[in-house]
Amino acid sequence: MFSFLASFLPTSYLLPGWLILDTNPLIGLLQGLVGASGISVLCSLFRVHLLIEESWKEKMNEGTSSGKSSSNPMRAKHGLFGVLQFLFVTGILATVGSRVASLVVLEFCLRAVSGLLTAGPETRKFLQQLLVQSQFSLGCAISCSLHFLHEGASQRWLCLLLAAALSWYLAKKSAALLHHVVALYKLHSSQRYCGICISLLTSGCYLQPMLCRIMIIAFSVAVLAAVSIINQQFLSATEALRFWTPLTICYTLLVVYMQEEQHRLPSSQAVLNAVVVRLGGLMVLMLTVGRWADVFHILICFLGEASCLIPNMDLLDAASSQDEEDFINYARRAHRQTSQTHVKQHPR
């Protein structure tokens, strides 16, 4: 139906080719809805993990003066702002083409692997920051995976409609879980009469590893889909090699540079600088070997990254501050134990 109506639009002389969507608008909207729902589930579950971790640390620090509450970063994003953000991310993911979404996925995977190899003792902190930074990349991963898996299906929109309904249901349930934990977890975990909070109390430590495993599976499928989508654009192996060689070299050097920058700057500032540099480098590359549609979609990706990162900068700060609090508490406990040992060895 959309293709029949689109045939009457005079796009050939009114709109340039780089402003025309590469997929059916309904298909793109459903893919964007699934991607935005995946981002919402990730943010909700990660906030639940941080809240459980904070509650556990408060219990550990009850007898000391270092018990400091930082519940503000784990507040739920709800209301009109949350709805507008969800709709905006859905529109961005629906507009971004499958080719640029594939490039975003490949760039994120390269950055994640290189970061894990160079993280060293800060692996836990890097994983938490990576979960926050992966929001828009996860949406692109879901979009290009759905594009690849449903390509050529006769009733593609029905499959995507079912996927969108299920993903929206999961997003609503995850948001409801977050609101419940924010409001009642401390009371219910101490009283031990709520099944949800008791389950989180006993098995909440497995929430972040579960999220990491899900992300690995999602991006593994997305990498295969991304390589297949990009290779469809080339007529010969020579053209493919001419595209992949500068892309690999440029992004390997760029990732190494950004890893060094991230150690020198605060976490939030380093993430924003990394987004600008990465997408800027990708746009320069597309100006060289790409098309105008790719450049336009990369500019849209700037808005997508900003709409995902800026409202959730508190998660980055929470991940960094929690590691700092762990180190401070560990140092204080070590100093106290050393003082007690010294007193026992030299009694008066």
Structural domain span for residue 93: 23-58+72-313
Burial 125-151 (b: 16+ CB within 10 A, else e): bbbbbbbbbbbbbbbbbbbbbbbbebe
The residue count for the chain: 348
Q: How confident is the model at residue 321 (pLDDT cuts 50, 70, 90)?
A: low
Residue 105 located in a structural domain? yes
Residue 237 located in a structural domain? yes
167, with CB counted inside 10 A (0-12, 13-18, 19+), is buried
- Nearest in space to 32 (alpha carbons), one of 138, 107, 132, 109: 138
Q: Is the pTM of this model over 0.85?
A: no
Q: Would you give the distance in Å from CA 12 to the centre of its chain?
A: 37
Q: How confident is the model at residue 21 (pLDDT cuts 50, 70, 90)?
A: low
Q: How far apart are CA 294 and CA 97, in angstroms?
A: 8
Higher local confidence (pLDDT), 164 or 280: 164
Residue 332 located in a structural domain? no
Residue 254 located in a structural domain? yes
Residue 328 located in a structural domain? no
Give the residue-averaged pLDDT of 209-237: 87
128, pLDDT greater than 70? yes
Higher local confidence (pLDDT), 311 or 330: 311
- Residue 77 confidence (pLDDT): 59
Residue 247 located in a structural domain? yes
Residue 11 located in a structural domain? no
Tokens 């935005």 sit at which residue?
A: 36
Q: How confident is the model at residue 210 (pLDDT cuts 50, 70, 90)?
A: very high
Q: How confident is the model at residue 34 (pLDDT cuts 50, 70, 90)?
A: very high
The count of structural domains within the chain is: 1
Residue 144 located in a structural domain? yes
